[in-house]
Amino acid sequence: MATALITGASAGLGLEFAWQLAAAQHDLVLVARDTERLERLANHLRAAAGIAVEVLPADLADRAQTERVAERLRTLDNPVSLLVNNAGYAVDEPFLGGDLAKQEASLDVMVRAVMVLSHAAAEQMVVRERGAILNVSSIAALTASGTYSANKAWVRAFTEGLAVELRGSGVTATALCPGLVRTEFHERAGLDYSNLPGVVWLNAADVASAALADVRRGVVISTPSLRYRAASGLLRVLPRSAVRAIQGSGSVSGAPRSR
């Protein structure tokens, strides 16, 4: 039975990935900061799907704790066949005048941890000539919404480069680039998008399902929903000066901090 490791597994898209992979009879390694919430989820998954579930509490802003997760990924004893780098959050304050420590922590979680864990997973997967890495980016990677966009742009570009390096190895890398998804992500970040129309929102189950289907097909950039694929295409062809101007006007629905 294949084993998947999911970061940020206790909520949002991570939680949805956990349930869908459990339903597909994957054993799981669940990573998040909240031990109690992880244990409760693990018990539910074991009871519902009859799978093995490991709980690995870790704050990925902490390098020592990230290394513990990396060590689990490096092992060839009960190896991880699918890594889902999902952990992430938005810092709801401007870069200038804000708390730099918060920005550094978000960089550690969404950039450094993705790099370290992808490296650990890819090395053992290449040895076995099988495996997949799914890194959660965002359509915000194509916008200009501060450090969140910068972090997600790094994830997208990094994953594309990793996919090139892994070509022919039997291992794949996919960057998931969703738009706005109905989860607790925005509420936890203190972001109020209640004025946005319902059409801009995606269902978490649909996003996770589309992403896992793309992983199975070896797709490198996964953008669930036709409307966000169209928006992504537009953002790629627009002059960057126009993207910055639109971002400044706040007229791009869902462009800031979307996932």
Q: Taking each helix axis as running N to C, give the angle between helix 12-23 and helix 35-49, from 0 to 180 degrees, rounded to the nearest 10.
A: 20
Beta-strand (E) ranges in the chain?
Answer: 3-7, 27-32, 53-57, 82-85, 131-136, 171-176, 180-181, 201-202, 221-222
Q: What is the mean pLDDT of residues 251-258?
A: 43
pLDDT reported for residue 36: 96
228 counts as catalytic: no
Q: In the structure, what pLDDT confidence band is assigned to residue 184 with cuts at 50, 70 and 90?
A: low
- For 137, phi then psi, to 5°, come to -100, -140
Average pLDDT, the chain: 90
- Mode of pairing for the β-strands spanning 82-85 and 131-136: parallel
Residue 96 has pLDDT above 70, yes or no: yes
Beta bridge partners of 136: 176
Does residue 30 or residue 235 have the better pLDDT? 30
pLDDT reported for residue 191: 52
Q: Say how far apart CA 203 and CA 13 lie, in whole Å.
A: 10
Query: What pTM, to 2 d.p., does this model score?
Result: 0.89
Q: In the structure, what pLDDT confidence band is assigned to residue 256 with cuts at 50, 70 and 90?
A: very low
Structure tokens at 30: 């669940």
What is the per-residue pLDDT across 156-176, written as a single tens digit (0 to 9) for each?
999 999 999 999 999 999 999
What is the per-residue pLDDT across 111-156, written as a single tens digit (0 to 9) for each?
999 999 999 999 999 999 999 999 999 999 999 889 999 999 999 9
